[in-house]
């Protein structure tokens, strides 16, 4: 069974640009969550999608947005990039929303903003 | 609002010894779940152990066990017979809300 796939693995962008990250969940998983990981900040929850609807949102500015498609694949977009957006972005998929089910993580996309 | 706190940024343990990682949380919800995840240097996060809040019995998975103190809102992870492969970042997490702690880096000394 294929795991969670995130593309691209590495990305370098210039301040002010926008970026789109992609996440393909495990087959059959309908919930996709996104996290930002920076040293010292741990994992910060961005948002969770279930059945194409955003069910939960973290405390991030509106420059961070996402969507989920009918096949459960999800994209995350960050507009007007800032240096502070440099981080590892992790995607996780699970069977359900707001449940005790295990979240399976991808390897992440390392975004560097210069 | 729910919070998860890991007060130990880094811990070290000798191979074959036991180590306990601390996690405290704050919530007013009665129904929730707690997890410990491990993130090895290769970065893929994997589940170590989970605990349902309604269960009084502490969860155990081989060498990994938790000490769940619901009244104290404490959820510590005990790793017995530590192995070199246990070296990683460990995150405590709360569900629902998907709240993670800042992580504890565990070093295993040969």
Q: A35 contacts in B (CB within 8 Å)?
A: 98, 100
The encoded tokens of residue A41 equal: 């900040």
Given a cut of 70, whether residue B5 has pLDDT beyond it is yes
A40 contacts in B (CB within 8 Å)? 102
pLDDT for res B1: 75
- Count of pairs with CB atoms under 8 A, one residue in A, one in B: 52
DSSP A97: S
Instruction: Indicate yes or no: CB of A105 within 8 angstroms of CB of B100.
Output: no
pLDDT of residue B64: 97
Q: Left if phi > 0, otherwise alpha if psi is -120 to 50, otherwise beta: which for B73?
A: left
Q: Which helix (H) or strand (E) holds A76?
A: strand A74-78
Whether pLDDT at B58 is above 80: yes
**Who among B37, B42, B102 is closest to A41 (CB)?**
B102
In this predicted model, what pLDDT tens digit does every residue of A41-50 receive, in sequence order? 778 989 999 9
pLDDT at B69: 95
SS3 B56: coil
* Residues, chain A: 114
Residues with Cβ within 8 Å of residue B99, at least 6 apart in sequence: A45, B2, B3, B4, B25, B93
- Chain A partners of B101 at a C-beta cutoff of 8 Å? 42
Can you say how many angstroms the Cα of residue A40 is from the centroid of all Cα atoms in its chain? Answer: 19
Q: How far is A30 from chain B (nearest CA, A)?
A: 16
Size (chain B), residues: 110
* Local confidence band at A98 (pLDDT 50, 70, 90 cut-offs): low
**How crowded is residue B43: how many other Cβ atoms within 10 Å of its Cβ?**
17
Mean pLDDT on A67-78: 97
Mean pLDDT of A77-86: 97
Residue B52 has pLDDT above 80, yes or no: yes
- Mean pLDDT score of chain B, rounded to an integer? 93
8 Å CB contact of B43 and A88: yes
Q: Which residues contact A96 (CB under 8 A, 6 or more apart)?
A: A30, A31, A50
Quote the minimal CA–CA distance from A107 to chain B in Å: 5
B89 token code pair: 């970042």
Nearest-CB residue to A100 (from B52, B98, B102):
B52
Strands B46-52 and B33-39: antiparallel
A85-89, B57-61, B84-88 — which is least confidently predicted?
B57-61
Which residues sit opposite B93 in a β-bridge? B35, B100
Residue A101: predicted pLDDT: 76
Alpha-carbon Rg of chain A, whole angstroms? 13
């Amino acid at each position: 069974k294929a795991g969670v796939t995130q593309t691209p693995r590495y990305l370098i962008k210039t301040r002010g640009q926008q970026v789109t990250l992609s996440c393909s969940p495990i087959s059959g998983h309908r919930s996709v969550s996104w996290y930002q990981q920076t040293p010292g900040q741990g994992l910060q929850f961005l948002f969770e999608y279930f059945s194409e609807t955003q069910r939960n949102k973290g405390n991030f500015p509106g420059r961070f947005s996402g969507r989920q498609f009918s096949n459960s694949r999800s994209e995350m977009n960050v507009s007007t990039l800032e240096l502070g957006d440099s981080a590892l972005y992790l995607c996780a998929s699970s069977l359900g929303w707001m449940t005790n089910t295990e979240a399976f993580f991808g390897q992440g996309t390392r975004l560097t903003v210069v | 609002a729910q919070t998860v706190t890991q007060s130990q940024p880094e811990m070290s343990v000798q191979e074959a010894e036991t180590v306990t990682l601390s996690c405290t949380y704050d919530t007013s919800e009665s129904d929730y779940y707690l997890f410990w995840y491990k993130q090895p240097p290769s970065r893929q996060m994997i589940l170590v152990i989970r605990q349902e809040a309604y269960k009084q019995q502490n969860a155990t998975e081989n060498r990994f066990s938790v000490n769940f103190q619901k009244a104290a809102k404490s959820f510590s992870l005990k790793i017995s017979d530590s192995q070199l492969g246990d070296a990683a970042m460990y995150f405590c997490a709360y569900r629902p809300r998907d709240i993670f702690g800042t992580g504890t880096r565990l070093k295993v000394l040969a």
